[in-house]
Amino acid sequence: MNNLLYLSLLAGAAASAYYYGSGEESSLNRRHSLITSFCLAAAFTYHYLVRRTRYVFLVDFACFKPGLSCLCTTEMILERAKHVGFLSEESLKLVAKILDRSGLGPKTYLPEGVLHIPPKLTFDEARKETDTVLFGAVDELLEKTGVQSKDIGILVVNCCLFNPTPSLSDTIVNHYKLRGNILTYDLSGMGCSAGVLAVDFAKQLLQV
């Protein structure tokens, strides 16, 4: 559609230039000269506006920080992993290696259900954890930016493990009463690094 409009403007300019050079009366030539100039100016202006780089800026961000009840050490994580019941020795070694190389440090946070002995690995606990993290982060972000729910037009949610139905994006839309024509996207199964992909995806959507 954009290219069609651009070509139409150029065609109008070309047609006017043709009539201008066809030897018609001077008043008609002046008229076509003005039309040619207008079409060319409009075409190049439109081309500049469409083709120029559209920058997207990060206004603010929010990271959810759990309460002290979720604080634990790496030793506690390994101990809780043993109580899961279905991890082999090889899997436990892999968990230890991941903790060592992940950059989490000597202390981090885990969901209360995972810290419980024995761990509560249920759908309800996963939903509770997800709601706590999502709503905590979004509440803080809305407060920081002052953005109203009705002004949000795109929502991208990334979660590598928990993908319920209704989706996580639906959960946010319903909780914050976001507008009905919002564009929602759920990314899953790509690991934690997909958070960077989600940000880039949102950037591309905002450039359309």
What tens digit of pLDDT does each residue of 194-204 get? Answer: 888 899 999 88
Beta strands in 115-178 (DSSP E): 154-159
% of the chain surpassing 90 pLDDT: 31
Q: Using alpha carbons, select from 181, 183, 185, 182 the residue that is nearest to residue 197.
A: 185
- In this structure, are 68 and 42 located in the same domain? no
Q: Return the pLDDT at 50.
A: 63
Out of 114, 130, 147, a domain closes at 147
The predicted structure's pLDDT at residue 7: 47
State the residue range of the domain holding 169: 148-208
Shared-domain flag, residues 152 and 141: no
The domain tally of the chain equals 3
What is the model's pTM? 0.70
Q: Which of 121, 147, 173 marks a domain boundary? A: 147
Please state, in angstroms and rounded to a whole number, the distance separating the CA atoms of residues 131 and 187: 17
pLDDT tens for 104-120 read 888 889 898 888 888 88
197 and 156 within one domain = yes
> What's the pLDDT score for residue 167?
93
| Cα–Cα dist 136/65, whole Å | 8
Residues of the chain with pLDDT under 50: 1, 4-7, 9, 18, 21-25
**Is residue 17 domain-shared with residue 94, that is, in the same domain?**
no
pLDDT at 30: 55
